[in-house]
Amino acid sequence: MISIVNVAKSYGKHKVLQDIHLEVPKGHVYALIGPSGAGKSTLIRAINALESIQQGEIVVDGLQVHHKTTDINKVRANIGFVFQSFNLYPHLTALENVSIAPVKVKKVNREEAEAKAKSLLSSLGLGEKISSYPGQLSGGQQQRVAIARALAMDPKVMLFDEPTSALDPEMVKEVLDAIRHLAATGMTMVVVTHEMGFAKEICNNIVFMAEGKIVEVAPPDQFFSNPQSDRARDFLSKVLEH
């Protein structure tokens, strides 16, 4: 579903992505983990062209994301992206936030889009909040609205960039539960996360990055019990100690 071949990106002399190769099969969940500054966010953002790349190729569901003849709207219609900071429209209700893109971009009729938005919001435990504005919702509720908004476009892939990092601790679980539920439906997903227990539980593979490179890709049992590189061992000893 996602194929990343020989991708590189630099800011001046600083190589933020180097020699990146990764294949994510349909229905699989991959976690991107690693120290701050490793390039995780740059990589996940490059998958739907929120970041440019200078070398290599990224293909999502058969479409070359960074090719100059590719219609980027077509690519993004297949990819749901959930940000750390929710990024909801503050002047729209939860229902409007979730239904606006299907109406404007996909030309779905409003009634149909709103019915679907209601059903998505209910399935995420927000049935009572459809008329609330983002400012009236907790961080965890806002992030679940953001997940519903992404799902409203019927994406083939969901990308999450540190979806729980901006949340108060008591709200982390409700968002992780929503992502866990989505994984169980067979959605293809890539998640940048610092939640090691969560990554271990739901991911098919852990992708460990450091200094712009993918250092290890391994199933969680293997990665957490027997990391192959010194870099990963060092990282794990720090985060697990913490």
Provide the CA 113 distance to its chain's centre, in angstroms. 23
Quote the crossing angle between the two packed helices 110-123 and 139-151, to the nearest 10°: 130
User: Which CB sits closer to ligand ADP, 42 or 48?
Assistant: 42
Q: Report if residue 73 touches ligand ADP, rule: CB under 6 A.
A: no
Q: Does residue 41 interact with ligand ADP by CB under 6 A?
A: yes
Number of chain residues interacting with ligand ADP (CB under 6 A): 10
Among 42, 48, 142, 193, contact with ligand ADP (rule: CB under 6 A): 42
Q: Can you say whether the dihedral through the CA atoms of 216, 218, 221, 226 is positive or negative?
A: negative
Q: Is 164 in the site for ligand ADP (CB under 6 A)?
A: no
**DSSP structure class, residue 108:** -
The CA–CA distances, whole Å, from 30 to 14, 19, 113, 114, 218 equal: 26, 18, 30, 31, 10
Q: Which residue is nearest to ligand ADP (CB)?
A: 41
Cα 174 to Cα 90, 121, 137, 161: the distances in Å are 22, 13, 14, 17
By the rule CB under 6 A, 37 interacts with ligand ADP: yes
Q: Does 121 bind ligand ADP (CB under 6 A)?
A: no
The CB-of-192 to ligand ADP minimum distance in angstroms stands at 6
Whole-number Å distance between alpha carbons of 230 and 215 = 10
**Which 11-30 positions form the footprint of ligand ADP (CB under 6 A)?**
11, 16
Residue from 1, 2, 40, 227 in contact with ligand ADP (CB under 6 A): 40
Name the residue nearer to ligand ADP (CB basis): 10 or 226: 10
Distance CA 39, CA 105 (A): 31
Q: Which residues bind ligand ADP (CB under 6 A)?
A: 11, 16, 34, 36-42
